[in-house]
Amino acid sequence: ARLGFTHQIHHQSTSLVEEQLDPFSLVADELLVLANKLRQMVVAEVPKLASAAEYFFKIGVEGKRFRPTVLLLMATALNVHIPEPIPNGGPMATELRARQQRIAEITEMIHVASLLHDDVLDDADTRRGIKSLNFVMGNKVSVLAGDFLLSRACVALASLRNTEVVSLLATVVEHLVTGETMQMTTTTEQRCSMEYYLQKTYYKTASLISNSCKAVALLAGQTAEVATLAFEYGRNLGLAFQLIDDVLDFTGTSASLGKGSLSDIRHGIVTAPILFAMEEFPQLRAIIDEGFEDPKNVNLALEYL
Ligand code: GRG
């Protein structure tokens, strides 16, 4: 019953597109500029590293660009106070917008670095509908390419010369690592706790979105209060994004996901749909305790969803 909410979401997003209110279209031009900028930012000296680093920045495998879209829309919403005759229009506003675009680029680069490392950790062979980088070039090159992207993101971050913003996004990297470690090293008690799930999900997914939203607000010269609201908006959006991602892992197909479905449960990762189902069917707990190494248990758990 809880899974029914995805239908509402699909239905709503379809009608948004139908009404030409697709948020991606509002920043479509800027997303093209961002795509080119990212390709320039990942040029590397050594040929092997160059082809690895550019792998997920090539046309057609760029992903949804969800984070840059949110950040550019957030910038549009927050830049209106710039004391120039044309809001969002004069030279100060242009300079500000360029700095916020930089946050969008850095955020996407950190995100892609985390995907490269994630696919190594999960031994995943597909990502964004193509073979994963670790599958094509091996784990070692994939780890190094992720490190390289992180380094390029750091240099771009430093160029903003704003220590608070540097500190926010550097902390995100720690959060990504923390969330991933929490996911890898759970006790059964933790795996069955919604509180633990939400904390892990904040670190793994929402922290990047919330802290980058806050960075966009700070660059706009907004008050600490508004910056906190931007953070909260990003945190809630990030948690919602991961909840939907978790549901899609059960309901999606390889074609729609660009990777195999049921990958969480097959890796023994207990996500929100299972936790919700467990509230209704406490007998699911025994299956979780036993683990999902045995495919029989995966099928048993699916029956409760
Ligand atoms: C090296 C920065 C760094 C981190 C290492 C591996 C790791 C620690 C963290 C992994 C974090 C991770 C992969 C979280 C999942 C986030 C998530 C929902 C990814 C999918 O995002 P989409 O759907 O992907 O936006 P696309 O492909 O559309 O960009």
Is residue 278 in some structural domain?
Answer: no
Query: What 3-state class would DSSP assign to 131?
Result: strand
Say if 24 falls within a structural domain: yes
What distance in Å separates the CA atoms of residue 94 and residue 194, rounded to the nearest whole number?
43
- 97 is in which domain, residue-wise? 2-261
Instruction: Give 104's strand partners.
Output: none
**pLDDT tens profile 172-226:** 999 999 999 999 998 888 988 999 999 999 999 999 999 999 999 999 999 999 9
Residue 275 lies in a domain: no
- Whether 182 is covered by a domain: the verdict is yes
Residue 213: CATH number of its domain: 1.10.600.10
Model's pTM, two decimal places? 0.90
| 8-state DSSP, 34 | H
Name residues whose C-beta falls within 8 Å of residue 244's C-beta, 6 or more positions apart in sequence: 6, 9
Ligand 1 pocket, residues with Cβ under 6 angstroms: 63-64, 66, 110, 113-115, 117-118, 121, 128, 146, 150, 173, 176-177, 180, 204-205, 242, 245
Q: Is 98 exposed, middle or buried (0-12, 13-18, 19+ CB in 10 A)?
A: exposed
* Chain center to CA of 245: 10
Q: Which residue from 134, 109, 126, 110 is spatially nearest to 52, judged by alpha carbons?
A: 134
Per-residue confidence at 88, pLDDT binned at 50, 70, 90?
low
Measured in angstroms, how far is the CA atom of residue 89 from the centroid of ligand 1?
Answer: 34
Report pLDDT digits (tens) over 21-75.
Answer: 777 888 999 999 999 999 999 999 999 999 999 999 999 999 999 999 999 999 9
Mean pLDDT value of segment 151-155: 98
Q: What is the ipTM of this complex?
A: 0.98
Specify the number of domains making up the chain: 1
